[in-house]
């Protein structure tokens, strides 16, 4: 089953890129494509990947700890797959145990981020790549997954620091990909079709969380005082 899945994933990516490459070749043949456009698209040729630097994070407040490469699939999102969703998870364990699980190649699952009860954020998979977190291939390909350390039946695990840090992270992800800040696009793992998970559970305060995300999104969209002074 694993080999078949890998083959299907490869076929899908190559098929999409073949269309791009065909368009590039045709345009270049007619001298209709500018040099800077060719430079922008070169990495989309099959077998050519975006340049990456070890330890680079997508969210400035995060610390990088790499997940096992058995728990995610290399991609070039949002060019291969559009990103239009954030999925909220709860680890059913501690922060450290979640990190260890995502580093375990036998775990076969991991999210892009983990948020601790103290507000710390660790990124384990680049947003470019497809994390195996939702239990649904389509949702994996189109979403960013955020784990929250704790247990679904312990409301005290969902601290102020956790809510606020996670909301800032989600707001930044929504800004990056143009994701609407609403409950159709920011969902719980339990809402993914076909899943047997119940997280984030009944004690996750969605009203509070969404208000915090909207507030963070508004604050991020405001120009800084120095930028305003420069513009004036």
| CA 207 – CA 209 distance, rounded (Å) | 6
Task: Say which residue the tokens 């949702």 belong to.
Answer: 139
Q: What is the pLDDT of residue 220?
A: 87
pTM recorded for the entire structure:
0.77
Q: What is the pLDDT of residue 53?
A: 86
Q: What is the pLDDT of residue 33?
A: 43
- Over the chain, what is the mean pLDDT? 83
Give the tens place of pLDDT for each residue, 53-101.
Answer: 888 999 999 999 999 999 999 999 999 999 999 999 999 999 999 999 9
Angle between helices 206-221 and 160-177 (to 10 degrees): 50
184 forms bridges with which residues in the sheet? Answer: none
Residue 102 pLDDT > 60 = yes
Secondary structure (DSSP) of 75-117: --TTTSS---EEEE---SB-HHHHHHHHH-TTT----SEEE-T
């Amino acid at each position: 089953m694993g080999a078949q899945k890998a083959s299907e994933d490869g076929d899908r990516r190559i098929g999409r890129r073949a269309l791009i490459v065909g368009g590039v070749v045709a345009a270049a043949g007619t001298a209709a494509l500018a040099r800077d456009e060719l430079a922008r698209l070169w990495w989309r040729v099959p077998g050519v990947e975006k340049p990456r630097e070890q330890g680079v994070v997508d969210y400035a407040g995060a610390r990088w700890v790499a997940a096992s490469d058995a728990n995610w699939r290399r991609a070039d999102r949002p060019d291969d797959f559009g990103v239009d969703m954030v999925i909220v998870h709860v680890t059913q364990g501690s922060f450290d145990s979640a990190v260890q699980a995502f580093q375990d190649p036998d775990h076969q699952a991991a999210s892009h981020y983990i948020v601790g009860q103290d507000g710390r954020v660790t990124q384990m998979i680049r947003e470019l790549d497809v994390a195996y977190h939702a239990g649904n291939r389509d949702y994996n390909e189109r979403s960013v997954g955020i784990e929250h350390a704790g247990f679904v039946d312990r409301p005290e695990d969902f601290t102020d620091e956790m809510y606020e840090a996670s909301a800032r992270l989600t707001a930044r992800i929504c800004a990056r990909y143009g994701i609407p800040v609403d409950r159709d696009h920011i969902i719980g793992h339990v809402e993914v079709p076909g899943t047997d998970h119940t997280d984030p559970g009944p004690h996750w305060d969605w009203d509070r969380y969404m208000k915090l995300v909207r507030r963070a999104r508004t604050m991020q969209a405001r120009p800084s005082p120095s930028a305003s002074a420069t513009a004036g």
